Amino acid sequence: MKRPAKPLLQDEAFTAKSQPRRKRDPAQPNLPFDPMPDRVEPCLALLKAAPPTGPDWAFEIKWDGYRLAIHIQPSGVRIITRGGHDWTNRFPAIAAAAKDLGVGTAILDGEAVVLNGKGRSDFGALQRSLGGRGGKRASTESVLFAFDLLYFDGHDLSKTELSVRRHLLTDLLDGAVGAIQLSEEVQGDGAELLENARSLGLEGIIAKHRDRPYRSGRTGDWLKIKCIQSESFMIVGYEQSAAARGGIGSLLLAARRGHDWIYVGAVGTGFKEKDATYLKKTLDMLNTRTPVVPLKGKNYVFAQPTLIAEIEFRGWTDDGNLRHASYKGLREVQDNAAVYALD
């Protein structure tokens, strides 16, 4: 069953289609080819408080999952994480869908997510489908929402503008409803789209400059505007609680400032008993008598800075702590999560 994946489209009848993709003419075998890269460092979205304006910007939903590059070759499919790790075996449904696209060579850029019943990406559900942090389970429920095409049919597309890459990607994925789908562009004013995303409980929107090539890193060509703030923080310990399920009352969190760790508060909601049990067991193994942040408390158990948690929050207090924080899940090392850096 196809889950709803276009919550921001105001006109469901609107479709943007181009001419059908033509197959390469076998009578012209000597067309120029570009070598296919083993890995492309991803283009990352720069966080902004408000969406840009003007016709140069295209908008998409911000998906909440794992960034993946899908490398398709005649010899097979490789699925590479943002950190450069091969996770082909972790996403078998996406790999099978890539083979079924019927292309010789391609590199798709996208986000693997697990959708809930309302068609929204659920980071916690994705984590559980993979067996949790450090788990080795294969996720059969994941769907890749592809939003860029970096290499196609022997040609490097990274130097072409986004509008051309999207044109080819739309042709390639036209009508796809399986484990690989097109991340649709949504039409409208950025501020209105952000408000629609907020009312639907989505994480936010992405804005991309239509005329820019694909450039690695946070160049400002892509922007992310969030409805709810969500960042990665280091877990530096926990507060014991006999009353809490799993024995954890709250997790102690830290951010980076240069080479130092800075305490940014605790989070005591968002994790289930199974999460708390795993966290307590793992943090106890990382136990240290010397905390990396200057905290004291008889119920505090300090840990070496190893586990990175994704935390949703509503802002900052005057004393530099997270406000209304909620635990979403642990980030994988292979996901190359960056711990939040304080200015």
Taking the C-alpha atoms of residue 278 and residue 3, their distance in angstroms, rounded to an integer, is: 31
* pLDDT tens per residue across span 151-182: 999 999 999 999 999 999 999 998 888 999 99
Domains and CATH numbers, the chain: 46-226 (3.30.470.30), 229-335 (2.40.50.140)
Strands 180-182 and 143-152: parallel
Taking the C-alpha atoms of residue 307 and residue 234, their distance in angstroms, rounded to an integer, is: 6
Residue 61 predicted with pLDDT over 50:
yes
Query: What average pLDDT does the structure give for the chain?
Result: 87
Strands 46-47 and 315-316: unpaired
pTM for the full predicted model: 0.71
Q: What is the pLDDT of residue 26?
A: 47
Residue 133 predicted with pLDDT over 90:
no
Q: What is the pLDDT of residue 119?
A: 82
Q: What is the pLDDT of residue 13?
A: 42
Could you say which of 2, 6, 62, 274 is catalytic? 62
List, in sequence order, every residue forming a beta bridge with 206; answer none if it has no partner: 60, 224
The two tokens of residue 235 are 């877990």
Q: What is the pLDDT of residue 245?
A: 76
Band of pLDDT at residue 28, cut at 50, 70 and 90 = very low
Of 60-69, 74-83, 120-129, least confident by mean pLDDT is: 120-129
Catalytic site residue 62?
yes
In this structure, the number of other CB atoms found within 10 A of the CB of residue 133 comes to 19
Closest CA to 133 of 123, 120, 146, 145: 123
156: amino acid identity, one letter = D
DSSP string, 66-108: EEEEEEEETTEEEEEETTS-B-GGG-HHHHHHHHTT--SSEEE
Q: What is the pLDDT of residue 33?
A: 85
Mean pLDDT (whole number) for 69-81: 96
- pLDDT over 90, % of the chain: 61
Q: What is the pLDDT of residue 23?
A: 53
Mean pLDDT (whole number) for 323-338: 80
Taking the C-alpha atoms of residue 182 and residue 171, their distance in angstroms, rounded to an integer, is: 10
174: amino acid identity, one letter = D
Band of pLDDT at residue 323, cut at 50, 70 and 90 = confident
The two tokens of residue 285 are 């193994």
For 332-335, the CB contacts below 8 A with 24+ separation are 332/66, 332/81, 332/130, 332/133, 333/83, 334/81, 334/83, 334/85, 334/87, 335/66, 335/67, 335/81, 335/82, 335/83
> What b/e sequence results for 37-56 when a residue is b if at least 16 CB atoms lie within 10 Å of its CB, and e otherwise?
eeebebbbbeeeeebeeeee
